[in-house]
Amino acid sequence: MNYKWNRREFLQKTSAATLAALAAGAPVPSLLSSCTSGKAGQRGTADTVILLWMAGGMAHTETFDPKRYTPFEKDMEGNRVLSTFKSMPTKLDGIHFSEGLQSIGDVLDRGTLIRSYVAADMGFILHSRHQYHWHTCYEPPQTVAAPHMGSWIAKELGPKNPVIPAFIDIGQRFTVGEAEELKAFHTAGFLGNEFGPFFIPDPSQGLESVRPPIGMDARRFERRNQLYNELISNSPVGEFGSDYQKESLRRSMEQAYRLLNSPEAKAFDLSTEPAHIYERYNTGRFGLGCLLARRLTQQGARFISVTTEYEPFKGWDTHENGHTRLADMKCQIDGPIAQLVLDLEKSGHLDRTLIVLASEFSRDMMVEGRPDAKVKEQVKQPEILSDMKFYGMHRHFTDGCSMLMFGGGIKKGFVYGKTADERPCKTIENPVRIDGIHQTIYHALGMAPDTQYEVEKRPFYTTPDGKGKAVMDLLA
């Protein structure tokens, strides 16, 4: 285990892997994989995946796995505090969520709660590395540019609707901190650009992503599209890329151009949504992202990621004022997520749509890392809480994280796994790791567990060495 990786080294290694992917030829599917994949006739229980990404580290004891509540008192002992919110009942008898998540609790009978996700032990904790690991299933750095989960799905299953991009990413900007690190896993890697994400940084401006800029007529846009194709040859893809990668980039542009001229482009325009429905989702960019995800699912999207957005020291990245910050985050997610579940159920799409809510790891007030593998502390968290800003879960915790799944063949009203009721609130029953999560999703979609491509003369699987196993207990 390397405890010394920093952001610069992470970027150097992933950049090298990206260049290697550009230079590589077409990935070659193995005979075994191509004969047993979902494309060959094995139909799963889901057609679409919506990933609701709680970027920054969502504390399990403050959300979906609350423990003993201890209200703030000046000069209190920090080790006494396990949860800073009261627990509230859900639709399931005996199962409680943290205060502020009652709407999601009211739809828990439609899905499964996982309370035992265990994040990887990669030494000194960087969000970008754990996010890379969660989205690709591979620990960075890799000599091969590992594809995002959404890219694997786009490649293997293709678009449901040939006009709608198979992989859509909503809400993450790359103009904020750690942009390059985030780009490292928002990619199709060696699979090629056509299977990469279609980015919509701001869902309220989704229509802007699929139409020419204001003031540009169709003829001028057509000319610009032609010029763009010419510029490809002068880009890094043109300079270093293989013929496969160049053609893949051109195909991705052709797909975007088809969308521009299609009736389905209206699905990106949230202004057409009835006002009373719009307001149920309108808690900010994440809430509107859930609304856009619902509309795109109904139009035939294959994989959609909606994120609260990772920006250092904001959102779920609570290094101080944890209690206050989480109260705001809950307001942003609670209503929209519950409404998404209800709307997809009402329209008949939930049964074939798998919704996954997850975060890269959890948080604790006192423990950094995990109890038996503590790492360097990154937050000044005093043992005695003299100020409200210290009241909250400010340190990274990897040994007990919560996830939610709805629809797409997942059990209804089911709870899997357990964490300890006293600090350290670590997983004590049915631990789940990322390869199991990925293979559970792929299984629901009908993708074969041995799906692989030959890259650099060796097989590259959807999970490391093809050893991931679906958690069958989660499936109905």
Element holding 287 (H helix, E strand): helix 285-298
Question: What is the per-residue burial (b if ≥16 Cβ within 10 Å, else e) of 251-281?
Answer: ebeebeeebbebebbebbbbeebeeeeeebb
Segment 7-15 shows an average pLDDT of 56
User: For 147, which DSSP code?
Assistant: P
Catalogue all structural domains in the chain, each as residue range(s) with its CATH number: 7-18+27-206+266-474 (3.40.720.10)
- Between residues 405 and 4, which one has the greater pLDDT? 405
pLDDT digits (tens, 9 = 90+) for 316-341: 999 999 999 999 999 999 999 999 99
Q: What is the share, in percent, of the chain residues with pLDDT greater than 70?
A: 81
pLDDT at 65 over 70: yes
**pLDDT, position 40:** 43
Q: What integer is the mean pLDDT of 359-382?
A: 92
Higher pLDDT, 215 or 370: 370
Q: What is the DSSP letter of 421?
A: S
Whole-number mean pLDDT of the chain? Answer: 88
How far is residue 127's CA from residue 378's CA, in Å, rounded to a whole number? 12
Is the pLDDT score of 69 beyond 50? yes
Q: Which two tokens stand for residue 325?
A: 């910050």
Least confident of 47-56, 66-75, 87-96, 202-211: 202-211
Q: Is the pLDDT of residue 12 over 50?
A: yes
Residue 41 has pLDDT above 50, yes or no: no
The helix or strand, by DSSP H or E, that contains position 414, with its residue range, turns out to be strand 414-416
- For residue 260, pLDDT over 80 is answered with no
From residue 401, alpha-carbon distances to 34, 142, 204, 327, 332 in Å are 35, 25, 31, 19, 20
Which pLDDT value is given to residue 344? Answer: 98
pLDDT tens for each residue of 111-130 = 999 999 999 999 888 899 99
- For the chain, percent of residues with pLDDT exceeding 90: 69
**Least confidently predicted of 34-38, 53-57, 63-67, 270-274:** 34-38
Mean pLDDT of 382-390: 96
By the 8 A CB rule, do 246 and 253 touch? no
Average pLDDT over residues 304-312: 96
pLDDT of residue 10: 53
- Is pLDDT of 18 > 70? no
For residues 406-417, give the mean pLDDT: 98
Question: Is pLDDT larger for residue 166 or for residue 3?
Answer: 166
Residue 1's pLDDT is what? 40
Residue 168 has pLDDT above 70, yes or no: yes
C-alpha distances in angstroms, 52 versus 1, 28, 257, 279? 30, 32, 27, 19
Segment 450-463 mean pLDDT: 92
CA atoms of 286 and 103, how far apart (whole Å): 16
Q: What is the pLDDT of residues 425-438, one digit of tens each?
A: 999 999 999 999 99
Q: Is the pLDDT of residue 179 over 80?
A: yes
